[in-house]
Every structure is written in structure tokens, then in C-alpha cells.
């Protein structure tokens, strides 16, 4: 207090009280804020631990997609000069479930074979089935080729490719799959598999394309 300042008793008292109240509230405030900080860091730690647990669970239970490999393909009728009409297109695709604990439910698998963007044949190749963990299922398909024929626009290129001994083909598989994790069934995924390969003059797959990994789209 400066000597120049002479507060009256009546004004000094409330001022003193209000200052005390002010310090008291400051202490209360710092106590509550310390408590809030404590609670906050407790919940943050809890959240972090729960997050790590969920992440580890997700890593160990996360379903991996099945792997498809084109093992063999043969189309003996491909060499005919009038086109592969009513020729059998046979293939062997292996379907591996790489998951150790997760099974896969498949709807029927439907296959189509394409030369360029011309569909040569299509049809169902497998009934609905359940694939256990770490299982390899062999998909054997035999479709009937209905083209390309001499009247198709793709014919000239097709017969030239046959003569050259390199015909690029594509097998597409479609299905709907569902993963079965021990604790719960996951939702459905529409599945598209594409195997691109080349066959030779004899209608058999060229050796460098055998056992190629097929592409999988969900
Ligand atoms: C299909 O290919 C797999 C893997 O190469 C083979 O083990 C299996 O015997 C083949 N099946 C047929 C019928 O060709
Ligand atoms: C894969 O599963 C199928 C169907 O359950 C079964 O028939 C086949 O023997 C299994 N293959 C292997 C290699 O375990």
C-alpha cells in the first residue's frame, strides 16, 4: 500500500474478502483442472491400450483374399479353319484360401472366356461351397466355344493369331464370397477373377503362362 492511498475501512474490507475469494477460487480451479487433466490422461491411456488391442486383433483376424492360379488350359478345336465352333475349352484353376483361421463361403462360380472383347463361351463351373482355412480347391471348367466364327469382325485377327501360334485369351470368374471368422460372419463381397494367358497352335496354354497368378477384384 502506498502512503498516499488511504482506503476507508468500509471499502477495504470487501476488497480484502473479494481478494481472498479470488485466491480460494484460484486454488479450487487449479485442483479441478489438475483432476480433469489426470482423468483426461487416464482415458487417453485407456484409449491407446484399447486401440492397440483392437489393432492386434484386426491384424490376426483380418481376412486375406483367396489366390487364383491358372494351372492348365486346353482347347483342341481352336485349330480348326472354320473357327472353334462347339469346341471344348477346358481349364484348371487352383483357388487357395491363404487364411489360417478364416473359412470362405462361395456362391456358384460362373466362368466366361474372352478373345479380345468377344465372348467365346461361358457357364457355371462350380456349385456353392465352403472352403476351409488353408485349403486349395481345384476349379475345373469345360465350356463350349461358340466363336469367333468366320462372320465375326474379330475373325481375321483370330485366324492370324492361330496361324502365328499365339492366341491371347482371358478367363473371368465371378462369384459372391463371404468370410467366416470364428466369432462372426462378415458381409458379402462380389468377386471377379481374371486370368490373362496365351494359347499356342495346338490350343494348349503356352508353358510360360501356366501357373500364372490371376487378378482378383472385389
Ligand atoms: C489341376 O491343377 C492342380 C495344380 O497344378 C493339380 O494338382 C491337379 O491335379 C489338376 N487337376 C486336374 C484334374 O488336372
Ligand atoms: C479342400 O476342401 C474341400 C471341400 O471342403 C475338400 O474336398 C478338399 O479335400 C480340401 N482340400 C485339401 C487339400 O484339404
Q: pLDDT by residue (tens digit) across 81-125?
A: 565 556 889 999 999 999 988 899 999 999 999 998 889 899 999
Question: Residue of the nearest CA to atom 5 in ligand 2?
Answer: 131
Distance separating alpha carbons of residues 212 and 215, to the nearest angstrom = 10
Distance separating alpha carbons of residues 50 and 81, to the nearest angstrom = 68
What global pTM score does this model have? 0.71
Q: For residue 215, report the phi and psi dihedrals to the nearest 5 degrees.
A: -90, 140
- Pocket probe mutation, ligand 1, options 67, 70, 71, max atoms within 8 Å of Cβ: 71
Query: Are 169 and 197 a contacting pair, CB within 8 Å?
Result: yes
Q: What is the pLDDT of residues 159-210, one digit of tens each?
A: 888 888 888 999 999 999 998 887 767 788 888 999 999 998 888 899 888 8
Q: Give the other-Cβ count within 10 Å of 115's Cβ.
A: 22
Q: Strand (E) positions, 14-153?
A: 67-74, 87-96, 103-106, 109-115, 118-126, 129-131, 136-145
Amino acid at each position: 500500500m502506498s502512503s498516499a492511498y488511504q482506503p476507508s475501512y468500509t471499502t477495504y474490507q470487501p476488497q480484502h474478502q473479494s481478494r481472498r475469494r479470488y485466491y480460494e477460487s484460484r486454488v479450487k480451479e487449479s485442483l479441478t483442472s489438475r483432476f480433469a487433466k489426470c482423468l483426461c490422461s487416464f482415458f487417453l491411456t485407456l484409449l491407446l491400450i484399447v486401440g492397440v488391442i483392437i489393432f492386434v486383433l484386426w491384424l490376426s483376424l483380418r481376412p486375406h483374399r483367396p489366390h487364383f492360379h491358372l494351372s492348365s488350359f486346353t482347347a483342341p478345336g481352336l485349330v480348326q479353319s472354320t473357327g472353334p465352333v462347339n469346341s471344348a475349352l477346358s481349364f484348371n484353376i487352383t483357388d487357395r484360401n491363404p487364411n489360417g483361421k478364416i473359412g470362405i463361403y462361395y456362391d456358384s462360380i460362373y466362368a466366361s472366356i474372352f478373345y479380345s472383347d468377344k465372348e467365346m463361351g461361358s457357364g457355371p463351373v462350380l456349385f456353392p461351397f465352403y472352403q476351409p482355412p488353408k485349403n486349395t480347391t481345384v476349379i475345373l471348367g469345360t465350356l463350349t466355344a461358340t466363336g469367333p466364327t468366320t462372320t465375326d469382325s474379330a475373325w481375321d485377327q483370330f485366324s492370324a493369331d492361330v496361324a502365328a501360334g499365339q492366341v491371347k485369351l482371358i478367363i473371368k470368374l465371378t462369384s459372391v464370397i463371404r468370410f467366416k471368422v470364428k466369432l462372426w460372419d462378415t458381409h458379402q463381397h462380389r468377386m471377379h477373377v481374371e486370368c490373362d494367358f496365351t494359347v499356342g497352335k495346338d490350343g494348349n496354354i503356352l508353358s510360360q503362362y501356366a501357373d500364372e497368378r490371376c487378378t482378383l477384384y472385389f
